[in-house]
Amino acid sequence: MSRVFLACLLLLACSALADVFGRPLTAETKPALLQSLTVLTASPLTVGEFKQVRTIKKLNREFVSTGFFAIDRQSGIVWDTHKPFASVFWVGDDAMVQLDPARNTKKTVSVKENPVFAEFSKTIQSVFSGNYGELERNFKIYFEKKGDAFSVGLVPKENAVARVIASIVLEGTKELDKVKITDGDGNPVVYEFSAHGHFQNLESVDGAYRDIAQKFSKLKAK
């Protein structure tokens, strides 16, 4: 099969999944959605690399950040940003905690300071913990699947949340590959995930992810 033909198939699949908000979840498609989400919950701890691209329409500019992430089904998410500025955040159920590794200190940050980031992290946590009920309570759900590729569209039910986040789209196959969040002003933030690693707990993490595992442990420590 030629590379050109494969590229065409990929483009067709992407275009088919692009209009997920035209496909509300139904009783017939719900089992396929649950099966797709089950793939993401197979590991208690998922780590990897992320690239964030935030677009500010009024400024006609894009801001790019890169780093590592760690998603624990029970304990939340750690975002270890390396560029353009170093920062480490743990997002739990109702708070964000910032770690200063150099001083070995922690500071609690109100979710009000970054509601988009907090709501997005909470949603991702729900997905990886298999908490479908949380998604169903808080969002109108849309779903499309083409082969192994799936796309899930989420629109907040609460007006207060919708003013902050207009929609979230999750795309993946056997991993969560991409998330697009559109805020209340229509500005998109796109997360691309790669180099996924799966572990049973923080103590079992090895290789390139030891550093973020150690930071996660410090954030969890009282």
pLDDT digits (tens, 9 = 90+) for 46-55: 999 999 999 9
More confident residue, 177 or 113: 177
> Which of 27-31, 54-58, 93-97 is the least confident region?
93-97
User: What mean pLDDT is predicted for residues 10-21?
Assistant: 54
pLDDT digits (tens, 9 = 90+) for 126-170: 887 778 888 898 899 999 998 889 999 999 998 888 888 899 999
User: What mean pLDDT is predicted for residues 5-28?
Assistant: 62
- Average pLDDT over the chain, rounded to an integer: 84
- Confidence bin at 108 (pLDDT 50/70/90): confident
Residue 138: Cβ within 10 Å count: 18
Would the pLDDT of 30 be above 70? yes
Half-sphere exposure of 207 (CA within 13 A, CB side): 8
| pLDDT for position 222 | 56
The one-letter code for the residue type at 68 is F
23-220 topology per CATH: outer membrane lipoprotein receptor (LolB), chain A (2.50.20)
| pLDDT for position 5 | 36
User: What mean pLDDT is predicted for residues 27-39?
Assistant: 91
Question: For the purposes of burial, counting CB atoms within 10 Å of the CB of 213, is it exposed (0-12), middle (13-18) or buried (19 or more)?
Answer: buried
